[in-house]
């Protein structure tokens, strides 16, 4: 009963949900822009790319024959979601439409896309419209207690799913010889696919290879447990940012690294986010006052 009261009392993520909603829109639109030159290959019925339809076949054919209209519809839909128009209904349609695009782009999907589709599903139940929305949610809504429960459960589902991803990844790593022996990153950094301009500085350094390999395993193994303790939380959030920035720059995997880091925001409370926003506002005021004093 205490847990139910806690979930009903308020939306404990009301400050971060709107930020995360805006990020999802940017994230998906960015993927569309990056695929723009290849749309005919991905969607066109005349493409050499052989698809295995999972969608309702008439819908699949309709999208194939009108893929440019479908992409335009996706962009408009994401803009509506960005501004909070249509709220829960639009969020469900975004999920269905994203699921349809992933059916066409199966060969291009990565672990981040697999997590993204679940995150967008969880967001269908979240009240992310109290801020940064044209049609804002009302705190006097007669269904506010139900919305609070669903929103809180959606947020916990997102972070629990992230923890599950890390833990399962760690279990697979410790059963792989290259990871268990501390040399996995040596082979990864020598692959042409992950050959960034920075790799040659580190890919033959045994200390960096060993430390980074075991750091990845230990982080993924213990993050799902220790991040829930306030004492350890910031350390593991910082370590996660360091890990994903390392993958971003050294392996040139740009999309899902940011998604993982953005999910970290759900580990902070409304009070902590409010304190952070006040800090930013005070910093802005200080900078503006300094500039004004310099000019006068």
CA distance 109 to 253: 12
Cβ–Cβ < 8 Å for 257, 247: yes
Task: Decide if pLDDT at 189 tops 90.
Answer: no
Q: How many domains does the chain have?
A: 1
Please name which of 103, 89, 38 lies closest in space to residue 68, comparing C-alpha atoms. Answer: 38
Is 152 domain-assigned? yes
Please give the residue range of the domain that contains residue 98. 2-174
- Supply the pLDDT for residue 289: 66
Is 253 domain-assigned? no
pLDDT digits (tens, 9 = 90+) for 194-217: 777 777 777 788 899 999 999 999
pLDDT digits (tens, 9 = 90+) for 103-116: 888 778 888 899 99
CA distance 173 to 216: 9
Q: What angle do CA 100, 72, 68 make, to 5 degrees?
A: 75
Is 135 domain-assigned? yes
Cβ–Cβ < 8 Å for 173, 179: yes
pTM confidence score = 0.90
pLDDT digits (tens, 9 = 90+) for 62-74: 888 899 999 999 9
Q: At what angle do helices 255-263 and 230-250 cross, to 10 degrees?
A: 170
* CA 50 to each of CA 60, 103, 104, 107, 131: distance values in angstroms, whole numbers, following the listed order: 13, 12, 10, 10, 43
Task: Decide if pLDDT at 21 tops 90.
Answer: yes
Is 234 domain-assigned? no
Q: How far is CA 109 from the centre of its chain?
A: 14
Q: What is the dihedral of CA 60, 63, 66, 69, to 10 degrees?
A: 170
Is 257 domain-assigned? no
Is 30 domain-assigned? yes
* Positive/negative CA dihedral, 97, 99, 103, 108: positive
């Amino acid at each position: 009963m205490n847990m139910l009261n806690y979930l009903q009392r308020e939306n404990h993520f009301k400050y971060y949900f709107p930020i995360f909603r805006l990020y999802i829109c940017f994230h998906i639109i960015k993927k569309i822009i990056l695929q723009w030159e290849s749309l005919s290959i991905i969607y066109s019925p005349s493409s050499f790319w052989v698809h295995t339809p999972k969608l309702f076949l008439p819908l699949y054919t309709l999208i194939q024959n009108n893929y440019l209209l479908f992409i335009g519809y996706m962009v408009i839909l994401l803009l509506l979601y960005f501004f909070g128009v249509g709220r829960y209904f639009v969020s469900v349609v975004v999920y269905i439409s994203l699921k349809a695009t992933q059916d066409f782009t199966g060969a291009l999907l990565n672990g981040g896309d697999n997590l993204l589709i679940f995150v967008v599903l969880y967001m269908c139940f979240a009240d992310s419209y109290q801020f940064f929305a044209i049609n804002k949610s009302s705190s006097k809504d007669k269904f506010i207690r139900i919305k609070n429960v669903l929103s809180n459960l959606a947020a916990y589902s997102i972070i629990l799913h992230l923890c599950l991803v890390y833990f399962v990844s760690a279990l697979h790593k410790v059963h792989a010889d290259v990871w268990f022996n501390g040399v996995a990153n040596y082979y990864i950094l020598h692959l042409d696919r992950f050959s960034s301009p920075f790799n040659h500085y580190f890919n033959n350094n045994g200390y960096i290879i060993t430390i980074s390999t075991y750091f990845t395993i230990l982080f993924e193994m213990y993050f799902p447990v220790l991040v829930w303790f306030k004492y350890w939380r910031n350390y593991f959030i910082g370590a996660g940012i360091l890990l994903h920035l390392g993958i971003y720059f050294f392996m040139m995997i740009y999309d899902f690294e940011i998604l993982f880091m953005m999910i970290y925001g759900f580990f902070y409370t409304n009070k902590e986010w409010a304190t952070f926003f006040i800090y930013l506002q005070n910093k802005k005021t200080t900078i503006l006052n300094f500039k004004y004093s310099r000019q006068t």
